[in-house]
Amino acid sequence: MNVRAGRYVPFATGGLQSLLQYRSMFVVTGVTAAAGAAVTVFLWRAVYAGSPDGGTGPGGFTPAGITTYLLVAQVLQILHANRVDDEVAAEVYRGDVAVMLVRPVSYPLVRLFACLPVVAANAVLVGVPVLVLFSFLVPLTTPRPVDAALFAVSTALSVLIAFCVNLLTGMTGFVTTNTWGVRMVKQSVVAFFAGQLVPIALMPGPLAAVAHALPFRGMVDGPLTLLLGRYDGAGGAVAVLAQQAGWVAGLSVLCAVLWRAALGRLEVLGG
């Protein structure tokens, strides 16, 4: 696998230029994200309405804490929507992946560099405006500087986990002619076991144990555990980051192995 970064920069800049051709897409994404966040946030705030002022409710969350959790979870979901699964599957269907294979680059790394502008643009043009909007509407928890720094590192790792999960999903295009169902199932499973819909702290014991054993926890619950300071000292913070880093390494190896296996099944017809 060729990892010379200079060869992949054009794919990142090209992806950014292509993205900016459809600026209205960010408006639609922002409105959709804000609407989804509003439903989730105000629903859960109703659940915590009976909590004592300054006290904690179910799961050890304060009303401001659960609001922050759910709102930032929505923003993280925006960052994880990198379109890698959709684009990889489409290129396999069309046979365009064959053109990429004759180039002196690694296709998985090409997809990684191409999705980075999508992540950055979604963060700046959608995630930040949604956070600012809701900061005027509902009380939020202000994180400590050290927690904010840990959250930034954890978010970067969560983006890499999401990339690997989406790449694996897109690679199912090698074995099925329609990945729509696969992508829908992936989206639902990830949203639930990542803690985006329901915080893992509120899940029943066995279900929470399953969530902790899966990589999806590192996409939402892990970063939010650090942001809200819901960890046990420095050791607890290191454990969260180490688990995320371990999943990034494990999923990267899995992607590389399955990619080699998938190439053996590739058949492209036509000219």
Give residue-wise pLDDT tens across range 137-157.
Answer: 888 888 899 999 999 999 999
The larger pLDDT score, comparing residue 163 to residue 20, is at 163
Instruction: Indicate the residue type of 19.
Output: L
The crossing angle, in degrees rounded to 10, of helices 107-122 and 63-80 is 140
Burial of 252 (0-12, 13-18, 19+ CB in 10 A): middle
Q: Is 164 helix (H, G, I), strand (E, B) or coil?
A: helix
Query: How far is the C-alpha of 247 from the C-alpha of 249, rounded, in Å?
Result: 5
Taken as a whole, the chain contains a residue count of 271
> pTM of the full predicted structure?
0.87
Q: What percent of the chain has pLDDT over 70?
A: 93
Phi, psi of 21 (to 5 degrees): -70, -20
Domains of the chain, by residue range, sit at 3-262
Band (pLDDT 50/70/90 cuts) for residue 98 is: confident
- What is the mean pLDDT of the segment spanning 204-232? 91
Query: How far is the C-alpha of 62 from the C-alpha of 73, rounded, in Å?
Result: 16
Beta carbons of 89 and 71 less than 8 angstroms apart: no
